[in-house]
Structure 1
């Protein structure tokens, strides 16, 4: 008798958990999906934070580069007059009170910088120091002002004597900086005569007693010393005497706290000044309206009225350069913003395409499983919930981690845009696979199955919609520009290159099978079968039943278009800067003698042989000439340039400053009037008869008008161009050029070194286009836009390579099986590698070529409407402006991406070729 086991029988409690089972079945696919979502979410969240950081940093750098007091609130008020002479303490206390009151009215969103406020008092007019031993550069005596700075001993070190404190009648104690004391030749204990006393004549003549000499510990140009100019170093000023500017020295002596009450008696009163430096960390682009409002209230609003009442100073006035700087920064940021967004929009399009491609490939991999579940009765809603749970377990943690990583690595006070970008990536990645899988797993029944042409009509509608959207964006950009005035960034207009790339990808998806099929038919006529077989497989999508073809092409084409258009923009910016720099300088380099001083002998020949120089042309210029007009008058302030017309014509053409035919200046004999090219204003006052050009040194040259010239390389105004060969026979001063134009890669330092070999170089002005380009490119807003373009190109390239890799990995098993079968038929390993390349490379090369073509079309259609002046930093005349196609940047970006994609194909082919035949030829395998 058989004994039955006691106890309850263990049975399965239910079906296995869907999410855990699916993740365990394909762990590597889940990890790759999570890594893709994490990287994409990080980039999407990092973009707004990078834009915020660059915009805030550019704003603060702009303020920092605008001067020591550019970030300060500046206030002035007349020093109140006091009748008693013992009110020095009360005067100092009142000054402290006003400064404290002013500082207390600086409230959020403004913050006072840690350095604190600077305040003091200064005389408003000078007194002459008539001492005979003092320096007199223009036979004019030096003049002195007085000043007081609160907490001066904390910002300077006494090198001799003591700090001033009191005034004795008309004798003022003062401390001088070392450069001022050295110039005047005085030491502690010396007294300087300051003329008759103005406040109390009974005190006799006013004197300035030097009681101390100090050395500033803060830089001479710092904000602390900005309110008392000429205190840290003497200032050389000029005074018109008989229409001649004569130099003289102006200095400022610093007085003590006990002399504040006597400061107005120095000369015609004094004024108190207050400087409150603001914390630049509070200057943020998103808070600019609030900051501007707070500053405006202090300048002329309710806070200003409250300040006047609290300080009891009716003439209390507050000024600041910040409103002007903020308005300029806002205007330039609005102009640069569309160009800054162009690159990230393209990279975002590539990233979105890669996410959709990953979802489509995952659906293709699991198509049989999903169709089986639907055939066994799985409801669409239940299947969608399970797929959403599976996708959420992989996508949501990765999206949160990527967003958090961006928040941590790129700190900035604003986080809304970053969270929104990360959430958008997470939403797309979460829904892409479940929605696509549910749609493709539906049974082939109903109207769609009965009407095979319905899918084609739907595809035509989608393609037509994309074409209309692209055409509308192009027309809008051509009519309104990328950044309409006051309209901000229009995403439809900025997405113009993206829409053109989408249209190009759709057209390529329709055209590339016939094109590759034609190539396969041509290859079939050859003796080998590898090329034909690879191209035939490429023409029909690699042999897969349901493999997406538009998305890989779209990803590659978007990447090439984004990179090509971005490189074209950057190339146009560089070209525009070079053109603007040449127009500003007049050539690649220009050396001019100050006040008409002649250049050293042999300088032109030596400069033309400097490293990087391609040539040069010397000339002689007079900026203060006059031309006798046809009505008997003299046209003053005419620039006369004497130069060789042949090289100069080529120089003017290259610099974009107008062209002319040098042959018109070759006519005439040695006694005939010199032919001249004149500007339009001079031409209107002259007739065909000879006229005289009166030079500033008294010489006269007879000339006749031979034509007009648009502009000269020496600047604006009215000009006259004379040929050097004919002028030298009449005027020997032209044998000593005072001007030299150079071409080539020239810098100022080698030119100055060449001038120093012949003597001091301070008598010459040296300017180079390269230095101007560096100055224009140094603008923080422009650098931020260029960095964003470079980062966007790199991100787009990375996602394009990832799209190629995803496509290859998905088709790898099927291709490996095909190779294994062919190996059994005698296919050699090298032929297998050639087969893989023939199958995979045509798509990549076609996408790169079409992407370069689309980028060219985008530059041609959208380029003229893009204003690059804000990025260039200057406006170049004589050019079409905008984005202009350049072959080298376009081909370079396309070739680079094609090479990277081809290298990816080669690597994958090498890995596939090593797979064993026995592992690929399995019974029942349907790959």
Structure 2
């Protein structure tokens, strides 16, 4: 018989609330599922581009050099060698090189350069040039193309080609200022081997455009002169500058330099690169260095061309960061994904329980299980599919970069679970008729053998995941699904265990309640015990969500602790004021008056203490005020000691030494220091670190026992001290001391966008897990709301007061809420304790490997706020919802509640 009205339209019109709630749930879940892979790809791609762009120019590009031979085997004339450096020939080879580079390696043509240069600097013989202790300046001669495009003319004109014995050149403004060169100056460059002198007339002074970029930075001497040093035993400095010749003058370099060479410097362009390009890009770089591309490039220039690049090391280091961070991130993704899936399944299960009577009536009137399931599927699909599509579209809009397939599959999985949960649960519950009023509660339910087998299987998987994580850890570089699911499996096992144990405390608590006066306590426990066995799913969702939130919060806390520790090790205190020589008088007193400063420890540091034992390893001498320095060491945790251990009574100075220094000095009196400033010390205590030197070897003594006690460093304690006011105090005192803040050092520890991106993802994961926990609790409470309302209405007819009604509903909701809260906190703590040995947070906290030692071991630790706040929120929300429901119910009349229908 044809239906009078379509099923889907009728259901959505009569019950729009549940459909809108499901639509909103699917929208949020689909958005999170779609945005996670795109966010990961976005920060990984940004991290790779950052790694390439922040590296030095000589490492982030490809360097190709070719030295034309003096003689050719085929007897070609000598001028053939000159033609090798002609601008047309150089430009032709440059274009061949660019054309040979395959995807995804892109050349930044604007910063790539080519030309010819002298292999070793050549001395200038002009007496008017400034001389240092090592003699007059030496120059590198370069004919790098593109000078006009990469500089602005400061004075004079750019060099041109000449036919005579004088070549024209230019210098940068920094070179001109340092070496006293002006437009019109003439510089004579004479090779040391006595070859003909080359006369260079400086026609112009240029100012580099973007001097920090590759054109000027691959060979920094082109823009800024540097110091070179004479040979030992007494190295003396002399200036090293660059003369920028016209490209047409390249053959002239062969007359003054036996090692003149042609070069092509290809700057890599990171724009447009994504994390998915990393494997292919590494293959290309390896092929360029020694592979088929190497052969192709050398054939375009010469078999003798040398090719070198630091890109492979940059990408290898970045790959190491990803390999260390991705497994840690996968734990958060698995946790949130599992919680979301459980909540979707729970929404379908609770909807099936809410509509049990309706569906039973359909079955009793001849409805088939497939027919009912099909109608429910069509009913659910109407709000679910548009919501899933909209959530995916929002993810694409907010994070436009990234591969589309993972996001589409994730949103499709969300839609599939949301659509299938209600029909499958309803089909399972109504596969056979059930007696009306048949009890199905947690107290009387007996787990079946199938459920026991499933729980034991899950227990085995959880044990295997924990053992694998503790043995292999997350530092292996590959994402292991079983290892990543370890916190979820631990939470699942705990939920199943608590569901089995749940009836026991209810039965025990009901015994004394039965003897107390009043029925509220006994009735609330009896009501809690009569809850359906479907309460296992909300409890599972709550425990997994709380475990994920606690785990994620602990990861963030461990990362923050590591950065705090590393920044403290880098600075030695909350702030460090340091001078190259000595600090001005009165600066310590001025710093003490700065608001927020708690304490100041004056320190004198000398980095070349001679222990007079013939060993050349550097030792830092640290002369301190024992009282202030002991307070600083105690507050920082770096080698705490008692101030009395450094105070001298008689004999040698008591000293605090690093283990290596203590071993070199032995246990007795030792004479240390340079000639003329010798003093005796005796090692009283050994510490691995100390605030003024958290790495390296050191010797700490009382400054009062040294002839020169003027401090060179002030270590300032006071987290709230203003950096601006500290710098103002330093400027007022004079002396040119520098101020280093711990907060600034901490900000610099997040070097890679991969770190900040992973942290943001973990923060979202914690928030999402907490949100799903609240949602699971609300769904479970709202599911029983109609039954509780009707019960309260009946009890009101029997004389139950409003106050007693509120107490009944609150006490009825407390057992499951307290069980979930206490179990979630306990399981979160246990999961962290179990999994901490296998979680490596070092590269997530500190991208630079060299800073890991200073920070110490970066381990996962239980964070009290992450454990207790979500658990407390669960209890408060449960009480608040029950109180609100009781208030609404007691405000309505008894007859209206009874007329609403009997839910039995």
User: Which residue of 186, 206, 230 maps to 2:221?
Assistant: 230
User: Which residue of 484, 490, 509 maps to 2:499?
Assistant: 509
**Any conservation in 2 of the 1:622–1:696 contact (CA below 8 Å)?**
no
User: In the alignment, is residue 571 of structure 1 matched against residue 557 of structure 2?
Assistant: yes
1:749-784 alpha-carbon deviations (Å, 9 max, x no partner): 5544433323242xx565443333211124322111
**Shift of the alpha carbon at 1:787?**
0.6
State the distance in 1 between where 2:665 and 2:770 align: 62
User: Which residue of 646, 650, 674 maps to 2:653?
Assistant: 674
User: Which residue of 742, 746, 757 maps to 2:716?
Assistant: 742
User: Which residue of 426, 432, 440 maps to 1:437?
Assistant: 426
Match of 2:73 in 1: none
State the distance in 2 between where 1:298 and 1:399 align: 45
Match of 2:708 in 1: 733
Match of 1:7 in 2: none
User: Which residue of 755, 764, 769 maps to 1:782?
Assistant: 755
Q: CA 1:512–1:231 in 2, change beyond 3 Å: closer, same or farther?
A: same
**Any conservation in 2 of the 1:344–1:792 contact (CA below 8 Å)?**
yes
User: In the alignment, is residue 345 of structure 1 matched against residue 329 of structure 2?
Assistant: no
1:176-213 alpha-carbon deviations (Å, 9 max, x no partner): 22232233334322323434798974xxx533212122
User: In the alignment, is residue 211 of structure 1 matched against residue 203 of structure 2?
Assistant: yes
What SS is found at the alignment partner of 2:607?
strand
Match of 2:74 in 1: none
What SS is found at the alignment partner of 1:757?
helix
State the distance in 2 between where 1:157 and 1:835 align: 84
Alignment of structure 1 residues 165-184 onto 2, 5 Å: 165-167=160-162, 169-184=164-179
Match of 2:622 in 1: 641
**Shift of the alpha carbon at 1:52?**
1.2
User: Which residue of 503, 506, 528 maps to 1:538?
Assistant: 528
**Shift of the alpha carbon at 1:374?**
3.0
Q: CA 1:189–1:869 in 2, change beyond 3 Å: closer, same or farther?
A: same
**Shift of the alpha carbon at 1:221?**
1.0
State the distance in 2 between where 1:397 and 1:279 align: 41
Match of 1:4 in 2: none
User: Which residue of 525, 539, 559 maps to 1:553?
Assistant: 539
Alignment of structure 1 residues 259-278 onto 2, 5 Å: 259-278=249-268
State the distance in 1 between where 2:579 and 2:570 align: 18
**Shift of the alpha carbon at 1:516?**
5.5
**Shift of the alpha carbon at 1:591?**
3.8
**Any conservation in 2 of the 1:38–1:399 contact (CA below 8 Å)?**
yes
Match of 1:220 in 2: 211
State the distance in 2 between where 1:635 and 1:150 align: 47
User: In the alignment, is residue 598 of structure 1 matched against residue 582 of structure 2?
Assistant: yes
Q: CA 1:605–1:509 in 2, change beyond 3 Å: closer, same or farther?
A: farther
**Any conservation in 1 of the 2:191–2:256 contact (CA below 8 Å)?**
no
**Shift of the alpha carbon at 1:165?**
0.8
Q: CA 1:90–1:347 in 2, change beyond 3 Å: closer, same or farther?
A: closer
State the distance in 2 between where 1:411 and 1:848 align: 39
Gaps of 5+ in 2: 71-76
**Any conservation in 2 of the 1:120–1:150 contact (CA below 8 Å)?**
yes
User: In the alignment, is residue 121 of structure 1 matched against residue 85 of structure 2?
Assistant: no
State the distance in 1 between where 2:615 and 2:670 align: 10
**Shift of the alpha carbon at 1:893?**
4.0
**Shift of the alpha carbon at 1:681?**
3.5
User: Which residue of 299, 302, 306 maps to 1:317?
Assistant: 306
User: In the alignment, is residue 756 of structure 1 matched against residue 731 of structure 2?
Assistant: yes
State the distance in 1 between where 2:120 and 2:686 align: 52
**Any conservation in 2 of the 1:592–1:739 contact (CA below 8 Å)?**
yes
**Any conservation in 1 of the 2:129–2:179 contact (CA below 8 Å)?**
yes
What SS is found at the alignment partner of 1:119?
strand
State the distance in 2 between where 1:685 and 1:281 align: 54
* Aligned-pair Cα RMSD in Å: 3.5
User: In the alignment, is residue 149 of structure 1 matched against residue 144 of structure 2?
Assistant: yes
**Any conservation in 1 of the 2:790–2:902 contact (CA below 8 Å)?**
no
What SS is found at the alignment partner of 2:748?
helix
What SS is found at the alignment partner of 1:875?
helix
Match of 2:570 in 1: 584
Q: CA 1:697–1:788 in 2, change beyond 3 Å: closer, same or farther?
A: farther
Alignment of structure 1 residues 326-341 onto 2, 5 Å: 326-341=315-330
**Any conservation in 2 of the 1:559–1:796 contact (CA below 8 Å)?**
yes
Q: CA 1:549–1:755 in 2, change beyond 3 Å: closer, same or farther?
A: same
What SS is found at the alignment partner of 1:160?
strand
State the distance in 2 between where 1:574 and 1:239 align: 44
**Shift of the alpha carbon at 1:321?**
1.8
TM-score by length of 2: 0.89
**Any conservation in 1 of the 2:169–2:245 contact (CA below 8 Å)?**
yes
Q: CA 1:593–1:188 in 2, change beyond 3 Å: closer, same or farther?
A: closer
User: Which residue of 469, 475, 484 maps to 1:477?
Assistant: 469
**Shift of the alpha carbon at 1:238?**
4.0
**Any conservation in 2 of the 1:514–1:539 contact (CA below 8 Å)?**
no
User: Which residue of 558, 577, 601 maps to 1:617?
Assistant: 601
Q: CA 1:296–1:347 in 2, change beyond 3 Å: closer, same or farther?
A: same
Match of 1:73 in 2: 62
1:387-423 alpha-carbon deviations (Å, 9 max, x no partner): 4444444434433443344334422341222122122
**Any conservation in 1 of the 2:781–2:878 contact (CA below 8 Å)?**
no
State the distance in 1 between where 2:83 and 2:559 align: 61
State the distance in 2 between where 1:511 and 1:704 align: 64
User: Which residue of 369, 390, 404 maps to 1:415?
Assistant: 404
**Which sits farther off after the overlay, 614-623 or 382-391?**
382-391
State the distance in 1 between where 2:641 and 2:81 align: 77
1:867-902 alpha-carbon deviations (Å, 9 max, x no partner): 111112132469554111232343234345555565
State the distance in 2 between where 1:153 and 1:687 align: 65
- How many positions carry a matched residue from both structures? 887
What SS is found at the alignment partner of 2:610?
strand
Gaps of 5+ in 1: 1-11
**Shift of the alpha carbon at 1:538?**
3.5
1:481-526 alpha-carbon deviations (Å, 9 max, x no partner): 234x25x111222222212222232333344455466667777787
Match of 2:865 in 1: 888
**Shift of the alpha carbon at 1:689?**
4.4
**Shift of the alpha carbon at 1:601?**
1.7
Alignment of structure 1 residues 665-814 onto 2, 5 Å: 665-666=646-647, 668-669=649-650, 672-693=651-672, 695-696=673-674, 698-712=676-690, 713-725=692-704, 727=705, 731-734=706-709, 736-745=710-719, 750-761=725-736, 764=737, 766-814=739-787
**Shift of the alpha carbon at 1:654?**
4.6
User: In the alignment, is residue 494 of structure 1 matched against residue 484 of structure 2?
Assistant: yes
Q: CA 1:737–1:535 in 2, change beyond 3 Å: closer, same or farther?
A: same
User: Which residue of 224, 240, 248 maps to 1:250?
Assistant: 240
**Shift of the alpha carbon at 1:575?**
0.9
Match of 1:817 in 2: 790
Match of 1:99 in 2: 94
State the distance in 2 between where 1:251 and 1:102 align: 29
**Any conservation in 2 of the 1:614–1:743 contact (CA below 8 Å)?**
yes
**Any conservation in 2 of the 1:563–1:893 contact (CA below 8 Å)?**
yes
1:539-575 alpha-carbon deviations (Å, 9 max, x no partner): 433xxxx472122222222222211221111111111
State the distance in 1 between where 2:105 and 2:345 align: 47
User: Which residue of 311, 325, 343 maps to 1:354?
Assistant: 343
**Any conservation in 2 of the 1:748–1:771 contact (CA below 8 Å)?**
no
